[in-house]
Amino acid sequence: MPRHPAPAILAIAASSALVLAGCSASAPAEEGTTDGIVVVASTDVYADIAASIGGDDVTVQALISGTAVDPHSYEASARDQLAVADADLIIMNGGGYDPFMETLIAASGTTATVIVAVDASGLLDEDHAHDEDAHEEEAATDDAATDAATAPAEEAHDDEHADDDHAEDDGHNHIEGFNEHVWYSLHGVAHIAESIEAALAELAPESAPTFEANGAEFLAGIETLEARADEIAGSIDHVHALVSEPVALYLLDAVGIHNVTPEAFTSAVEAGSEISVALLDEVLTLAGSGEIGLLAYNEQTVGSETERLLAAAEAAGVPVVSFSETLPAGQDYLSWMSTNLEAIATAVS
């Protein structure tokens, strides 16, 4: 995969007063000790990527680790506030996924460099570009007279649509129509890794060659995963999937699996909103229709409706692949995504 220019990073002067423990720990190290660049990430996914690139020159802490916690409902602690205040580099997901990080950053007065993964991934810009292309294709089908008559209104609509796509209200809401689970996009993670490498090199220029070498090795791992995803996509045809929540949609798309779940259902599950009886019946009917080749089940966002969907899929003999939002025990990012890909391949073979 060619190396892409690192997307823009919100860079501020870095500072550090103490060192934090490793990815799996939650407490800071003894006061007064230092051990390279201190990185704090909202989840262990980004902490692992930073550790892979930073190597021995970074000390990394994830505020959320393991699969026992639903990041959507995480409540930050005073210890988290201390960690953020003393970080040199902060990595958050953004897109309304981890709003507690915005609160911690604002309250801490930190001067750390901040990477927002949604922005660094480039996926939000690509999503907007796709919408613009769709508008252009639709407009091209109109005759010249209609175009001339409606151009001002359409331009106003496009401007309004662009504002809506990038609006995030107060930072605590999901971006309308955008899947913020960007770490399931291999392409997006490549961009995020490049942003992390660039930020670390700026913080410690003397270690830049190490970060570059580690970053290249990580990107080579992403290339291998992308090649495997292409191989799986070439081996299957017209597989339709249901998802309990949109966490793995980028990965399903990479292997050519088409999601047919009503968006109203996944949005309600993600937001913890009430799901109507009619909507649930629609999803359960799909599960038993014989047309579904896979259920992608988020094991960290579970409720009575998703459990009913799981039961319906199993009763209909639909293969189920479980996904998580954070790293399973004993996995790093690359091995985790490899495991996910092989689970998909086995389910649809």
Domains in the chain: boundaries:
1-121+179-235, 123-166, 237-348
The residues, any chain, with a CB within 8 Å of residue 73's CB and separated by 6 or more, are 272
pLDDT of residue 12: 34
Say which residue the tokens 């796709």 belong to. Answer: 130
- Please check whether residue 302 is in contact with residue 270, taking contact to mean a CB–CB distance below 8 angstroms: no
β-strand pairing of 58-64 with 89-92:
unpaired
pLDDT of residue 90: 98
What is the Cα–Cα distance from 331 to 346, expressed in whole angstroms? Answer: 19
What is the Cα–Cα distance from 335 to 201, expressed in whole angstroms? Answer: 26
Point out the residues of the chain with pLDDT beneath 50: 1-34, 132-172
Strand partners, 258: 240
CATH number of 1-121+179-235: 3.40.50.1980
Domains 1-121+179-235 and 237-348 share a fold: yes
pLDDT of residue 218: 98
**What is the DSSP code (8-state) at residue 22?**
-
- Please check whether residue 35 is in contact with residue 56, taking contact to mean a CB–CB distance below 8 angstroms: no
Helix pair 123-140, 144-166: axis angle to 10 deg: 160
pLDDT of residue 5: 42
pLDDT of residue 172: 40
Give the dihedral of Cα atoms 69, 340, 219, 174; nearest 10 deg: -50
pLDDT of residue 20: 32
The residues, any chain, with a CB within 8 Å of residue 214's CB and separated by 6 or more, are 52, 53, 54, 55, 197
Q: What is the DSSP string of 90-147?
A: EEE--TTS-HHHHHHHHHHT---EEEEHHHHHSHHHHHHHHHHHHHHHHHHTS-HHHH
Backbone angles phi, psi at 282, to 5 degrees: -60, -45
User: Which CATH superfamily is 237-348 part of?
Assistant: Nitrogenase molybdenum iron protein domain (3.40.50.1980)
What is the Cα–Cα distance from 54 to 23, expressed in whole angstroms? Answer: 13
pLDDT of residue 72: 79
pLDDT of residue 73: 81
Say which residue the tokens 């249901």 belong to. Answer: 242
Strands lying side by side in the sheet with 258-259: 258-259, 240-243, 294-298, 320-323
Question: Of the candidates 250, 249, 229, which has an alpha carbon nearest to the alpha carbon of residue 345?
Answer: 229
Helix pair 277-287, 263-271: axis angle to 10 deg: 120
What is the Cα–Cα distance from 24 to 20, expressed in whole angstroms? Answer: 11
The residues, any chain, with a CB within 8 Å of residue 195's CB and separated by 6 or more, are 6, 7, 9, 115, 120
pLDDT of residue 69: 83
Question: Of the candidates 275, 279, 295, which has an alpha carbon nearest to the alpha carbon of residue 287?
Answer: 295
- Two tokens, residue 134: 């769709």
pLDDT of residue 143: 45
At 297 the three-state DSSP class reads: strand
